[in-house]
Structure 1
Amino acid sequence: MVEKNNFGFAELEQWLNERRVTEIECLVPDLTGVARGKILPREKFTEDRGMRLPQVTVAMSVTGQFPEDGPYYDVIDPTDRDMQLRPDPSTVRIVPWAIDPTAQVIHDCFDHDGQLIPYAPRSVLRKVCDLYAAEGWNPVVAPELEFYLTARNTDANTPLRPPIGRSGRAETSRQAYSIDAVNEFDPLFEDIYAYCEQMGLNVDTLIHEVGAGQMEINFFHAHPLGLADEVFFFKRTVREAAMRHDMYATFMAKPIAGEPGSAMHIHQSVVDKAGHNVFSKPDGTPSDAFYHYIGGLQKYTPAAMALLAPYVNSYRRLSRFTAAPINIEWGYDNRTVGIRSPISTPEARRLENRVIGADANPYIAMAVTLACGYLGMKNKIKPKDEMKGDAYLTPFALPRGQSDALDLLRKETDLHEVLGKEFVTVYSEIKEIEFDEYMKVISPWEREHLLLHV
C-alpha cells in the first residue's frame, strides 16, 4: 500500500492495471459495520469515479429495518433521496478469495451539495479526527480484536459450539494463551495471514483467548481512520476464511453462554505536531492531558455505551468476574478496570479502553472513545483517583441494558456536539427499532422458567 496522502486516482489506476483487476467491489460501511455497495466492472468504475445509493443504505438496523416516521426523517429526506459515493483511493485492496482479479475500495458518502453525510460512520470518525487536528493533536490508536471460531450453525435456535480442530476434537476447556490450541486451526490461520498480507493489513500478534475457540488479533498502532478501515476489512476477511474451512467466525460480544465475551480493546494516545506524546511531560511523568483524557473517558463513557455496546447481546458480556469491565475506574496495569494504562515508556504512554465490545462498528467505536478523551482535554476534566485494587468488587457504573444506554446517550448533549446531532438522532432511532424487534422474541429461558410456574 502507498501512504494515504500520496495515493490519488492516478496511483489507483496504476495499482489496478498492475494487478489486471477486472471488477471493483465498491464498499460503504453502514451503522452496523456491514459492507454495503455495488460490484462494478473495472471500466464502469474508472468512467464514473463513484456511484449513487439511497441515503438509508448506511442508516438501517441490523435486521434491515428503518423507522416509518419520527426524528429520523428530520435528518434523512423522506423522499428516499440518493447520496453520492466517492472512492477513497488509499483504501484499495485486492480481494484474495475472488476467482477473477477483483479489488475492493471503501467509499465516502456525500450529499448533492458535496458535504459529507453526517450519519455515515466514516464521516463521524473524520469529524472527530478533524477536531483533534484543529487543536494541533494527532490521535494514535491500536485495536485488539477478539472473536470466536464456532462450528457451522445454520439453526438460530441451536446454541453455538466450538469447532473441530486438526485433532478431530473440539475444545472442552479454557485454553488461554495456548500455542497448541491455536495450532489446532493452523490451516485456517495460514489462510487468514495470507489474505491479510495480500491486503496489506497491519496485523500483529495472534493469541488464543480465554474462551473455547476464542482468539484475539492485535493491530499495529496508526491513525484512527486507516485502522478502522483495516478492522472493517479484517472482520470480512476472517468470516470468509472461516467459512472456507467449514466453520464460522463471529464478533458477537457474547456468543456462547458460560464463556467470556469478546471485546475490541482500543489503545489510544495523542501526539502533537512535533510528534511528542502529549500524555507525558518532558521529564517522563504523566501530563495534565493524560489525566484529563482519563477524566473525559470516565465522565462520558456511560452515556456512550449505546455506541460502544450497540446490541442487546452486548450487555451480556459486561458482567462481574468475566474478564469484562463493569465500571469506568482507571489504573496502571490493572485489567479489572475499564480504563487501563499499560506499562510503557514515557514516549509510548497510552490508555486502553477495555469497555468496547467486538460487535461495535470500528469507525463509531474509535470516534466515540476519542470524543470522550477530546472533551476531557478540552474541558480539563479531572479523573477519579486511581483504582489500585480489584475493580470487579466495586459497584456497576455502566448501563445494564440497551434501553438504559439509549436514554443516557440522548441526554448527553456534549457528545452530540462532538459526534454530530444528526448522527446521534439517526443512530438512536435505529437502535430503538432493534430493541423493539428484540422484545418481540420469546426466549428459551422464558419458556423454561415461566411456562408452567407463573
Structure 2
Amino acid sequence: MNHSRHDRFNFAELEHWLNQRRVTEIECLVPDLTGVARGKILPREKFTEDRGMRLPEAVVGMGVTGEFPTEGPYFDVIRPTDRDMHLRPDPRTVCIVPWASDPTAQVIHDCYDAEGVLVPFAPRSVLQRICDLYASRGWKPVVAPELEFYLVARNSDPDMPLKPPIGRSGRAETSRQAYSIDAVNEFDPLFEDVYDYCEKMELNVDTLIHEIGAGQMEINFFHDHPLQLADEVFLFKRTLREAALRHDMYATFMAKPIAGEPGSAMHVHQSIEEVGTGRNIFSNPDGTPSREFYWFIGGLQTYIPAAMALFAPYVNSYRRLARYTAAPINIQWGTDNRTVGIRSPVAGPAARRIENRVIGADANPYVALAATLACGWLGISKQIEPSPECKGDAYLSDRQLPPSLGEALDKLKREDDLREVLGDAFITVYTEVKEVEYAEFMKVISPWEREHLLLHV
C-alpha cells in the first residue's frame, strides 16, 4: 500500500479529497486516554464551515468505565468548570469509512485550549511532544508495531469465559496453531474484508500471521513516523472490531482474554534516523552498534519499570506478564532472543533497531509509543549504559516488572524524569484516572473468590 493519505498537508487538498469521494458526513475523532474514539459526526457542510468542533476537556481525561476522579490533583489540571477544548482536524489523517452506508469520512483531531496551545494531557499531544524532542536534536524516530489480537465467539454475558470462534470448517480451534496458514484461512472471509477496508482507508498494514493462542492473530505495520503509526493502530483497532462484528464474532485487544492461553502484545520496533541524511544513528559508519544504540537500551532498562502503567494500563494487563507465557517478566536485553523484554533483531546496519516486547495490545498506541521513545530519549540524554547482554533464557532471571497495576501506578507517580519528559499534566491526569479504574475493579467480587473463599474461610 502507498503512503498517499499522509502526504496531504492542507485544507484545500482535504476539501478536494472530500469532493472527489462525494462525502456527505464526517466522523470527527479524538483518541481518549484508553484509545477509544470520541467525538462527533458532522454533516459535510458544517465540517467545512467550522473546520473543527468543541468538546469538554474531560472527554480525553476519563477511564475505560467512563468514570472521572471526583477530587484530588486531577482538578489542578482539568478544572471543575469543564472548559471546552477546541478541536482541529489533521488533514493528513482523513480516510473513508468503508463500512458506512453513505459516503462518510473520518478525520482525527488534535485538542487545543482557547489560547491555541495543545492540550497537554491528550494522548496525541503527548506523542507529538516526544517527537518534537527528537526533532530538536535533528532526529526522527521510526517505529513499526506488531499488534496481536484474539478472535472470539460472540459473548454477550461478561460472566461467561470467552471461546474461540467457529471458522469456515464449522469447528472452533482447540489447539495452538502458531504460524499455521490453514488456521488463518479458517477466517478468510473476515480477513478479506479487513484487507479491503484497510486498502480503502490507505492503512499500511503488512503481514498477517496466526499467533500461538487459539484464535490469536498478529498484524504487522510498515515502519514509519510514530504519529502516523499511532494513528494507523488506532484506526485499525476500530476497523477490525467492525469487520469481526459483521462476521458474527468479536475481535479483542485485551492483554489476557482467555485463561490458559498466551496474552496479546504490541511489540514495537524502534530506531532513529538523522533528518536530512536518513542515517540510522544506531549504527556507526563501520556497521557496528553505536553508543546511542546502547544508551537507548539503557534508557529502556532504567525507565520501563516506572512506565509499566503506560504499557500495561489495566488490571488484566498483568495477567499476561507471567513466566513462560511468551511474555517478558524483566528488562533483560539480547540479540535475536525472544525471552527478553528488550530484543535486538538480526538486521543489517541500516535496519538496526530495538524491539520493546513489554507493551500490551491493550495499551493506547499514542501513549505507548510516547512512553517507549521517552525511555530511550532519557537513556541517550543521560548516556545510560545497559546491563550485559542476556544470551540465555531470560525467563530464568528474576522478575523486574511490577506485578500489578497498583504497584505500577506507584512507580510512575514517583518517577520524576518521565514526568518531566511526558509532561506533569499528562502524568497527573493519567495516574488519577487509573486510580479510579483500579478502585472500580476492587469493588467487584470474582468467581475465584466465591469458589475458594465462600465456604472455606
Specify the TM-score bucket, using the shorter chain as the normaliser.
over 0.9
Which of 175, 179, 182 is the matching residue for 1:180?
182
**2:414 equivalent to 1:411:** yes
Residue aligning to 2:246: 244
CA distance in 2, matches of 1:350, 1:67: 39
Which of 441, 444, 448 is the matching residue for 2:444?
441
Alignment of 1:11-26 (within 5 A): 11-26=13-28
Which of 121, 124, 127 is the matching residue for 1:122?
124
SS in 2 for 1:303: helix
CA distance in 2, matches of 1:436, 1:407: 14
CA distance in 2, matches of 1:171, 1:100: 37
SS in 2 for 1:106: strand
CA distance in 2, matches of 1:444, 1:69: 32
Residue aligning to 1:110: 112
CA distance in 2, matches of 1:245, 1:158: 21
Change (3 A) 1:4 1:168: closer
1:410 deviation in Å?
Answer: 0.6
1:6 deviation in Å?
Answer: 4.5
Q: Deviations over 1:272-313 (max 9, x none)?
A: 121100000000000000000000000000000000000000
Alignment of 1:137-152 (within 5 A): 137-152=139-154
Residue aligning to 1:427: 430
Q: Deviations over 1:384-426 (max 9, x none)?
A: 0000000000110000000000000011100001100000000
Residue aligning to 1:208: 210
Matching residue's letter, 1:62:
V
Aligned residues: 454
1:77 deviation in Å?
Answer: 1.3
Which of 194, 200, 203 is the matching residue for 1:198?
200
Which of 281, 299, 322 is the matching residue for 2:284?
281
1:271 deviation in Å?
Answer: 1.0
Identity percentage of aligned residues: 76
Matching residue's letter, 1:420:
G
Q: TM-score, normalised by structure 1?
A: 0.99
Residue aligning to 2:35: 33
SS in 1 for 2:4: coil
CA distance in 1, matches of 2:83, 2:280: 44
1:350 deviation in Å?
Answer: 0.1
1:314 deviation in Å?
Answer: 0.1
CA distance in 2, matches of 1:364, 1:90: 20
CA contact (8 A) 2:177 2:214 kept: yes
CA distance in 1, matches of 2:69, 2:420: 23
Matching residue's letter, 1:364:
V
Q: TM-score, normalised by structure 2?
A: 0.99
| Cα RMSD, aligned residues only | 0.7
CA distance in 1, matches of 2:216, 2:309: 24
**2:266 equivalent to 1:264:** yes
Residue aligning to 2:97: 95
1:4 deviation in Å?
Answer: 3.7
Runs of 5+ unmatched residues, structure 2? none
**2:323 equivalent to 1:316:** no
Alignment of 1:129-140 (within 5 A): 129-140=131-142
Residue aligning to 2:73: 71
CA distance in 2, matches of 1:353, 1:64: 30
Matching residue's letter, 2:53:
M
Matching residue's letter, 1:187:
P
Residue aligning to 2:369: 366
1:3 deviation in Å?
Answer: 6.1
Runs of 5+ unmatched residues, structure 1? none
**2:334 equivalent to 1:331:** yes
**2:351 equivalent to 1:345:** no
Structure 1 runs (4+) greater than 3 angstroms displaced: 1-6
CA contact (8 A) 2:5 2:93 kept: no
CA distance in 2, matches of 1:267, 1:259: 24
1:5 deviation in Å?
Answer: 5.8
Residue aligning to 1:81: 83
CA distance in 2, matches of 1:56, 1:74: 13
